[in-house]
Amino acid sequence: MRDDNCIFCKIAAGEIPSKTVYEDETFRVIMDLGAASEGHALILPKDHYANVLELDEAIAAKVLPLAGKIARAMKKGLKCDGLNLVQNNGETAGQTVMHFHLHMIPRYKGGCEVIEWKPGSPTPEELEAAAEKIKAEL
């Protein structure tokens, strides 16, 4: 399953060169060309899914085990102090390439500031109302 207009399909298939750190039959893991920190990598499934809403469940089940493997290699190899996993869905959420990908962003003490947000202060009623809207659709 691929989208001929999708750059990540072409990268995942090896048709466009990338700095690949890992590859198996399901995934390719590449270095992000716009790395937020040293070692910023992207896990790409080889099949095309626009985002997590479309991602096949069997593929999804393999994403976190692979992320753990890469994270352990990052910690040892890059000596990072921590790392963030980021996964954007939809333009409003900052997704720019519409092929599912999981960002793995190593973090270093005193390094770049990513994944920061100002905590809100919802009321218990607002939390309850939001939870009910989600639960109603599960």
DSSP state of 102: E
- Residue 6 binding target from ligand AMP, Zn ion, none, CB below 5 to 8 Å by type: Zn ion
Query: Does 17 interact with ligand AMP (rule: CB under 6 A)?
Result: no
- Residue 99 binding target from Zn ion, ligand AMP, none, CB below 5 to 8 Å by type: Zn ion
Query: Does 20 interact with ligand AMP (rule: CB under 6 A)?
Result: no
Question: Distance between CA atoms of 106 and 81, rounded to whole angstroms?
Answer: 8
Q: Which is the catalytic residue, given 40, 48, 99, 101? A: 101
Nearer residue to ligand AMP within complex by CB, 26 or 87: 87
Q: Is 128 helix (H, G, I), strand (E, B) or coil?
A: helix
- Residue 27 binding target from Zn ion, ligand AMP, none, CB below 5 to 8 Å by type: none
Residue 101 catalytic?
yes
How many residues are listed for the chain in this entry?
A: 138
User: What does each C-alpha distance from 51 to 14, 15, 33, 81 come to in angstroms?
Assistant: 21, 22, 20, 29
Query: Does 97 interact with ligand AMP (rule: CB under 6 A)?
Result: yes
- State the sign of the Cα–Cα–Cα–Cα dihedral 46, 47, 51, 54: negative
What does the binding site for Zn ion look like in residue numbers (CB under 5 A)?
3, 6, 8-9, 48, 99
Tokens of 39: 């070692």
Q: Which residues are catalytic?
A: 101
